[in-house]
Amino acid sequence: SFYSDCIGGACKKFDDNDNTIVAEPLIDENSFNEKQEDSINEPQNRGPGLEGMSQTYRPNTLKRWRPAPVVPQISGRPGEMGKAVHIPPEQETLMKERFKLNQFNLLASDMISLNRSLSDVRLGGCKQKRYPALLPTTSIVIVFHNEAWSTLLRTVWSVINRSPRPLLKEIILVDDSSEGVFADHLGKKLEDYVAKLPVPVHVLRTEKRSGLIRARLLGAKHVQGQIITFLDAHCECTEGWLEPLLSRIVEDRKTVVCPIIDVISDETFEYITASDMTWGGFNWKLNFRWYRVPQREMDRRKGDRTAPLRTPTMAGGLFSIDKEYFYEIGSYDEGMDIWGGENLEMSFRVWMCGGQLEIATCSHVGHVFRKSTPYSFPGGTNRIVNHNNARLAEVWLDQWKEFYYNINPGARSVPVGDISARTDLREKLQCKSFRWYLENIYPESQMPLDYYYLGDIRNVESKNCLDTMGRKSGDNVGMTYCHNLGGNQVFAYTKRQQIMSDDNCLDASSRTGPVKLVRCHGMGGNQAWMYDEHDRTIVHVNTGSCLTKPDNSDVNLPVLKACNREEGQQWIMNSDFRW
Ligand code: LR7
Ligand code: MN
C-alpha cells in the first residue's frame, strides 16, 4: 500500500517490494578533517562568479566554497538538527485542525525555527570534495500556491544560510494566486519581510491561478543569474547543497542536475536522509517513481557513490539548469496546467534532445512529502493530470503512448489541446526516438522495448479475461468478464517472454501453482511464458505447464496445469478479436 493516496505517486515512501526503496539512513564513512581547508570565500564578496559569461564556463582551480550563515543555527526551539517535533496530547485537536490547511503538520512547522540546524548528511567522500573557484551564479525560483509561512520562509532561510553568498544571485518567489487565509501572510507581509533579507528576494505574482508550470515560466523570465535553480516551497537545503549542482553544469552545460531529495516528515518535520541508491523512473500510468539504481550505473560510476548519477527521470521540483540551455531545450510546455507531467516531459526531452539528467549525490535538499494535495485542481485532479500526461505522451512517447492510454483509458477522452509547438520543437531539435531512450537510457523501464502484443488476454472456454483486479505484487492474478476498457485487463507479451501489467509480471513457482503478479525481474525464470499462436496455449517455460482458466467459477483465479489441449487452456491475444 504505497503511493495509493498520493497524486502522481509523488510521495516518497518505502515500498514493500524489493527494488523501490527510499529513505534509509546513511553511514558517515569519513569524518571531515577541518585542517584540509584551503580557501574560504568572503561573505560580503558578491563576485567573482562568472558574470557575463555564457555558453562555456571557464575551467579554473578548485577550492572549498563556504556558506555565510546569517543567523546562528541553534535556536533552542524544537526540531533543531532536523529532529522530530512531537506535539503534546492536549494540542492534538488543534494539530489535526491545522493539518488540513497544508496536508502537513503546520503546528509542528510553526514551532521550529526558520533557521533550524540540520546535520551534515553527506557521504564522507563528499565533504572532502573541492569545486571550481569560479562558478556561475544562480537564481533560486520558488513557486507556490497557498503555502504556509513557516515552510516557505524556512526554505528561503535555508538557501541564504547554506549557499556560498557569491553564487547566490537572488531568490525569486512566485505566488501563484494564493487565496483565502493564505493571501494574508503571502501578500504585503511577505514583501515587507523579504525586503529586509540579506540577499535580493523578489516576489512575483501570477494574474490568475496558472499552475506550477506556468508560474515557473514566469519566475524564469526574471532570472538574472546564469543558472536557474528551482525548489518547491517546503524545502530545506543542507550544507554543501549548491556547489555540486553548479559545478556539474560547468563541466557540461547541457546537464540538468538534481540533488538527492531527502524526506521532511509531514507528521513530525523530522529530516530523514534518503538513499543515494535510488533514481527516477516511471510506470505505465506515467507516474514518477523511485527505483533502485541498477548495477550497470554503479559500474559506470566505478562504484563511486559520490560521483554524479545518471537518472532516467527526475521528480521535477528541485533542479539546476543553465538559463540559456533551459530555453534552448524548450523550457516547459505552456499547455500544461496546475500540477503533473512536466517532470517526465522535461526528463524525456533532455535525454532525447542531446542533454543529460543527473542526480548529484553530494547535494542533499529536504522536501516535505505529503500524502495528499491541500489545494484545488480547478476542473478536476484526474482531468488535469490526464491532460498533462496525454500531452507528454503524444509528443514524446511514440508508440509507447499506447501503454499509457491502455492502462488509463480515461485519458483517451480528455482533450490534449494544441501540441504542434511541442512537436515542432522535437523536430527542430532533431531529438532522438523514444526507442532510443528506452534502449540507451532506461533499459530497465517498465515499458518494454520490444513486445508482441498489448491488450487483454481472453480465455476461449470461459470467455473471461485475465485481470490484475488492481492487486499488488505477491497477490494472485484474477480473471473476470472482459470489459474491453483496458485498465486492469491490459497485459503486454514481451520479446523477453514476460506477460506484464505495469510493474508486475505473471509469475508461477510450481507446476500446479497459483499464478501470481510479481514485480518483473527481467531474468526469465518463473516469469517466462511461451504463447503458441496455433494451439493458443500459454506455456510456463520453467515447468512446461499450461495457463488454465479457474477450476470453479467462485474462485476467479487462473492456475497452472498439465497441458491438455482443452479450451480452458486456450487464450486469445489479439486486439481485433471479437467473439
Ligand atoms: O497550482 C499550483 N501552483 C503552484 O505554484 C500547484 C502547485 N504549485 C506549487 C506548490 O505550492 C509547490 O511549491 O508547486 C510546487 C509543487 O507542488 P506540490 O509541492 O504540491 O507537489 P509535489 O511535491 O507532489 O510535486 C512534485 O511533482 C510536481 C509535478 O508537477 C512538480 O514537479 C513538483 O515540483 C514536484 N516536487 C518535487 O519534485 C519534490 C519531490 C517530490 C517527489 C517525488
Ligand atoms: Mn512539494
- DSSP state string for 331-353: ---TT--SSSSHHHHHHHHHHHT
pLDDT greater than 50 at residue 12: no
Residue-wise pLDDT for 191-201, tens only, equals: 999 999 999 99
Lowest mean per-residue pLDDT among 71-80, 214-223, 421-430? 71-80
5, 210, 212, 359: residue to mutate for ligand 1 pocket, most atoms within 8 A of CB:
212
Q: Is the pLDDT of residue 28 over 60?
A: no
In terms of DSSP H, where are the helices of 397-505?
401-407, 420-428, 434-440
Residue 53 Cα to ligand 1 midpoint, Å, equals: 31
What angle do helix axes 149-162 and 188-195 make, rounded to 10 degrees? 20
Query: What single string gives the DSSP state of each residue in 232-265?
Result: -SSEEE-TT-HHHHHHHHHH-TTEEEEEEEEEEP
pLDDT of 7 above 80: no
Examine the pLDDT at 1 and tell me if it is beyond 70. no
CB 475 within 8 A of CB 517: yes
Look at strands 227-231 and 271-272 and give their pairing. Answer: unpaired
Instruction: Give, using CA atoms, the residue closest to atom 32 of ligand 1.
Output: 316
The greatest distance separating any two alpha carbons of the chain, rounded to the nearest whole angstrom, comes to 83
Task: Report d(CA 326, CA 253) in Å as an integer.
Answer: 10
The predicted pLDDT at position 72 comes to 73
Ligand 1, atom 35: nearest CA belongs to which residue?
A: 317
The amino acid at residue 544 is G
Whether 387 contacts 395, CB under 8 Å: no
Is the pLDDT at 156 greater than 90, yes or no?
yes
pLDDT at 75: 85
- The ligand 1 site (C-beta within 6 Å) comprises 10, 12, 143-145, 147, 176, 209, 211-212, 215, 232-233, 261, 288, 315-318, 338-340, 342-343, 367, 373
Could you read off the pLDDT of 399-415 as tens digits, one per residue? 999 999 999 999 999 99
Contact 371, 243 (CB under 8 A): no
Nearest CA owner, ligand 1 atom 34:
317
Distance from the CA of 11 to the center of ligand 1, in angstroms? 11
Cα–Cα dist 120/124, whole Å: 10
Q: Is 322 helix (H, G, I), strand (E, B) or coil?
A: strand
CA end-to-end distance (rounded Å), the chain: 37
Taking residues 484-504, report their average pLDDT: 97
What percent of the chain has pLDDT above 70?
89
- Which one of 143, 232, 286, 357 would you pick to mutate in the ligand 1 pocket, going by the greatest count of ligand atoms within 8 A of its CB? 232
Mean pLDDT over all residues of the chain? 90
Is the pLDDT at 557 greater than 90, yes or no? yes
Three-state SS annotation for 110-160: HHCCCCCCCCCCCCHHHHHCCEECCCCCEEEEEEECCCCHHHHHHHHHHHH
Please state, in angstroms and rounded to a whole number, the distance separating the CA atoms of residues 106 and 350: 36
Q: What is the pLDDT of residues 267-302, one digit of tens each?
A: 999 999 999 999 999 999 999 999 999 999 999 999
Take residue 149 and report the three cell numbers written for it. 509561512
Mean pLDDT of 164-186: 97
Q: Give the model confidence (pLDDT) of 430-468 as tens digits.
A: 999 999 999 999 999 999 999 999 999 999 999 999 999
pLDDT by residue (tens digit) across 356-370? 999 999 999 999 999
DSSP alpha helix (H) spans, 141-222: 149-162, 180-186, 188-195, 211-221
User: Is the pLDDT confidence value at 42 over 70?
Assistant: no
Query: Three cell numbers at 199?
Result: 540577499
Q: How many whole angstroms separate alpha carbon 257 and alpha carbon 259?
A: 7
For ligand 1, the distance from its centroid to the CA atom of residue 284, given in whole angstroms, is 21
ipTM of the prediction: 0.98
Of the listed ligands, the closest to the CA of 142 is 1
Q: Which ligand is nearest to the CA of 389?
A: 1
Q: What does the alpha-carbon distance between residue 418 and residue 422 come to, in Å, rounded to a whole number?
A: 9
> What pLDDT, on a 0 to 100 scale, did the predictor assign at position 295?
97
Could you give the CA distance from residue 414 to residue 417 in angstroms, rounded to a whole number?
Answer: 9
> CA distances (Å), 208 to each of 342, 383, 538, in order?
20, 19, 56
Q: Compute the chain's Rg from CA coordinates.
A: 26
Q: Which ligand is nearest to the CA of 385?
A: 1
Q: What is the tens place of the pLDDT at every residue in 97-122?
A: 999 999 999 999 999 999 999 999 99
Give the mean pLDDT of 46-56. Answer: 48
Mean pLDDT to the nearest integer, 308-329: 98
pLDDT digits (tens, 9 = 90+) for 203-212: 999 999 999 9
pLDDT band at 34 (very low <50, low <70, confident <90, very high): very low
3-state helix, strand, coil in the chain (%, to 5): 30, 20, 50
Give the strands of the sheet with 451-455, arranged side by side. Answer: 451-455, 491-494, 499-501, 504-507, 516-519
User: What pLDDT does 48 receive?
Assistant: 47
What average pLDDT does range 221-248 have in this prediction? 98
* 368 C-alpha to ligand 2 centroid (Å): 6
pLDDT at 59: 58
Phi-psi region of 438 (alpha: psi -120 to 50; beta: other; left: phi over 0): alpha
43: pLDDT strictly greater than 90: no
Task: Classify 537 as helix, strand or coil.
Answer: strand
